Structure formats: structure tokens, C-alpha cells
Amino acid sequence: MQKSHELIVRATDIVSGVFAEVTLSIGVEDANDCYPHIETDNYNITLPENLPLGSQVLKINASDCDSDANSVLSFHIDATNGDRDSELFYIDVADGSIYLKHQLNYEECKSYLLIIKVKDHGTPSLTSRANVWIKVKDLNDNIPKFVEPSFSSKLSVNASRGQFVTRASAYDDDECDSGKLKYKIVDGNDYQIYNIEESTGIIVLQNNQRLESYKQSILNISVTDGLHISFARVKINLLPENMHSPIFESSVYEVHVNENEKQNTLILTVKAIDHDFGKYGSIYYDIPCNDMASIFRIDNMTGSIYSKIPLDREQRQLYEILVKATDGGGKFSYSFVRLKVDDVNDNVPYFQLNEYKLILKDDIAINTVVAQVSLFIFKF
């Protein structure tokens, strides 16, 4: 469009034909009648979430067909995700370059919509708008985390191979790592008793041959996304089962005791072993025979046997005591205690008569037996 025009104006005398001319210059004053033109109505870009602050994101190109002040443009961010104030981006008012002023975080916001406003400096000012669609690219910038710092589980000592124990779950805030976490037991898994599924974190019983030896196991486990790694602890406690009966160290105990020992004298201590644990490994001792229970007593917890009365060898020399051991689940076994009472010198000898009278011939020979005296033991 031309900004000025020159016209030649001629005046002619219609009789004589004489004329005169004059040059007329016409200047065209621009009116602000053109809107700013943006190269596209919609921009689509993708930015990595670790883009450094101050990086140029995009440049908005626009023009205006008007002239002078009417063609001078300024650029503004009208809204970011509907918010008038943009904390993440700013735009160079003069040239339309958009810069990052705050760190992006995919986990906080995956996309942004910037409405860019371009206006001229005419009067009145005219404005055009464009949309900038920004997609944030997820990066592996977060450490995977277990849902709990410590897991606990209980497992029957009678569990079979392949038994589920627990699941150590973890998560990663990075969407790109979803489903890519890998689990591993790094410590505490002696004899490979347990196994963890690499992709799920499910822990199962792998070797039950030595399970009973480990009443409690503490596993240290890890999870990784390929770059970052985290750790947690899994505590596994065994639940007892009554699989074993108590067994005495000896089926028959032989013991000697002097007679006349005072009551509550310790005779001996029997001992039974139960390979179960917990309540099923506890043992209760008793003497089931009433006759023996009237003479002896047994400590139900320790198996120590005591005499209730002093023993007299002259009345009885041998006692056979049946002892029973019962575990917490009702299984039991027996043993015998053969107790021999040893004699002590506790009786006074005495003659049958207080006085013996003999009549001897005067010619009796030397070394002739003249009488036989009987000696008895008197029992008090």
C-alpha cells in the first residue's frame, strides 16, 4: 500500500483552450485496521523435565500489515493452564522468545497450555492470540521407594516349598519406570531359604530343609529402576507346629542314694528334648504312678526329682520311678529312674541275752568251744 499519491490538476479555458496545471500531493495516513498475524494458531512442543532454567523454549513469530506504531508488536503470556500469572515461563515482550524460569517436573504436571497474546501499539490496539501446547517429557530423576521401610510376615514351620511369604511392594514416581522395577535379596538369605521374584517383589519359600533352624529371618532387599536403588528390610517369624514328641536323654536313669537322707533331698534331674519351638517346645514333667508320687516329687518345669520322705534300705532297696514328659501340644514320652538305696551303718548290734552262764570241767582242753553267742542288729 502506497503511503502517498501525487495528482496533477489541470484547469482549461474551454474557449481558448489555455490551461494551467498544479501538482497535488496526497499523503495516506495509516489507520490501525490490521490485526497482528501470528504464523500459526497452535504450537506443539515437547520439553524434557530437566531442561535448564533460562533455556529458550520457543519463539513466536508475528507481523502486522499496518505501519509505524500500528505495526509495532509486543508479546505477552495471557494465561498458563488458565492461570493469569505464569511462574514457569516468561516471554520477551519485544521479540516473542519464550524462556523457562522455573524447573519443570513431570510428576507434578505433565502438560501446559500457554495462551500467547500479541498486540500492536495502534489506537485502539488490536490483539491476536495463539496457543502453545507444551508436553513435558518424563525422565528417570526419581528414586524408587518401598511402600514401607520394613515388612514383616509370619510363616508356618511346616510350610512347603513355593509357599507365599509376603510381597515387598515399591513404586517410582517416574512414569517411564512404571513396570520396570527389579527386586533382589542382597543379604540375610542363608542357604537360599527364600526367593524374591525379580519383577513383582513377591517372596516365596524356596528351601525348607533348614527352615526350622531359623526361627526368625531378616532379609535385606533392594529395588532398582536401572539407575537408582533403594533398600528395605523383611522380617520373617516362624510359627511353631507340634511335629515332634519330647525325647528323654536316656530311656533309663540309674542312680544311688544313701538311706536316711532327709526329705526334699535332690535325687537327680531328668531331661527331655523337644525339637519343636514356642509353646510346642515347652516340656511338663510329672510322675504318673500314685505309689511313686507319694514318695517322690518332680519339679514340673526342670525335671528335678526330690524325696518326700527319708528312704530306708532295710524296708526297700530298689525303686523304679516312671517319669512322663509332655509338650505343649500334648505329645509325650516316658523314662524310668532306677533308684538303689545304699546301706549306711545306722543300726546298733546287741546280744540275744544280757548274761550268759557256763559250767566248765576242770580238765577241759585248750581251744575247746565252750559256747556260741549270737549277735543281732537292732533296728530303731
Residue 31 has pLDDT above 90, yes or no: no
Q: How many CB atoms lie within 10 A of CB 97?
A: 15
Report residue 160 as a C-alpha cell: 512347603
Residue 292 is inside which H or E element, if any?
helix 290-293
For domain 145-239, the question of CATH label 2.60.40.60 is answered with: yes
DSSP bridge pairs for 340:
256, 318
C-alpha closest to that of 342 among 253, 262, 255, 252: 255
Q: Predicted confidence band at 177 (pLDDT cuts at 50, 70, 90)?
A: confident
User: Average pLDDT of 42-51?
Assistant: 94
Residue 351 has pLDDT above 80, yes or no: no
Q: How many CB atoms lie within 10 A of CB 269?
A: 13
User: Average pLDDT of 50-79?
Assistant: 91
Q: Do domains 37-137 and 247-342 have the same CATH topology?
A: yes
Where does residue 227 fall: left (phi above 0), alpha (psi -120 to 50 degrees), or beta otherwise? Answer: alpha
Q: What is the pLDDT of residue 190?
A: 86
Taking the C-alpha atoms of residue 189 and residue 210, their distance in angstroms, rounded to an integer, is 12
Residue 114 has pLDDT above 80, yes or no: yes
Q: Which residues of 122-157 are buried (b: 16+ CB within 10 A; e: fewer)?
A: beeebebebebebebebebbbebebeeeebeeebeb
Q: Predicted confidence band at 380 (pLDDT cuts at 50, 70, 90)?
A: very low
Is the Cα torsion angle 368, 372, 373, 376 positive or negative in sign? positive
Query: Taking all residues of the chain, what is their mean pLDDT, rounded to a whole number?
Result: 90
Is the Cα torsion angle 73, 77, 79, 80 positive or negative in sign? positive
Q: What is the CA radius of gyration of the chain?
A: 55
Residue 371 has pLDDT above 80, yes or no: no
Q: Range with the lowest mean pLDDT among 155-159, 188-192, 354-358?
A: 354-358
Q: Range with the lowest mean pLDDT among 4-8, 189-193, 212-216, 264-268?
A: 4-8
Q: Are 255 and 338 in contact (CB under 8 A)?
A: yes
Q: How many CA atoms lie within 13 A of 44 on its CB side?
A: 0
Extents of the domains making up the chain = 37-137, 145-239, 247-342
Residue 103 has pLDDT above 50, yes or no: yes
Domain 37-137 class, CATH top level = mainly beta
Q: Name the phi and psi angles at 70, rounded to 5.
A: -70, -15
CATH of 247-342, picked from 2.60.40.60, 2.40.30.10, 3.10.129.10, 3.30.930.10, is 2.60.40.60
Report residue 9 as a C-alpha cell: 490538476
DSSP character string of 30-86: -------EES-SEEEEEEETTPPTT-EEEE--EE-SS-GGGG-EEEEEEEETTBSS-
User: Average pLDDT of 93-102?
Assistant: 94
Q: Which tens digits make up the pLDDT trace of 130-165?
A: 999 999 998 888 899 999 999 999 999 989 999 999
pTM of the prediction?
0.61
Q: What is the pLDDT of residue 305?
A: 96
Q: Is the peptide bond before 36 cis (omega within 30 degrees of 0)?
A: no
Taking the C-alpha atoms of residue 127 and residue 73, their distance in angstroms, rounded to an integer, is 9
Residue 28 has pLDDT above 70, yes or no: no
User: Average pLDDT of 34-55?
Assistant: 93
Residue 29 has pLDDT above 70, yes or no: no
Q: Name the phi and psi angles at 190, rounded to 5.
A: -60, 140
Residue with cell 518345669: 301
Residue 343 has pLDDT above 50, yes or no: yes
Q: Which tens digits make up the pLDDT trace of 273-295?
A: 999 988 999 999 999 999 999 99
DSSP character string of 81-110: TTBSS-SSEEE-TTT-EEEE-S---TTT-S
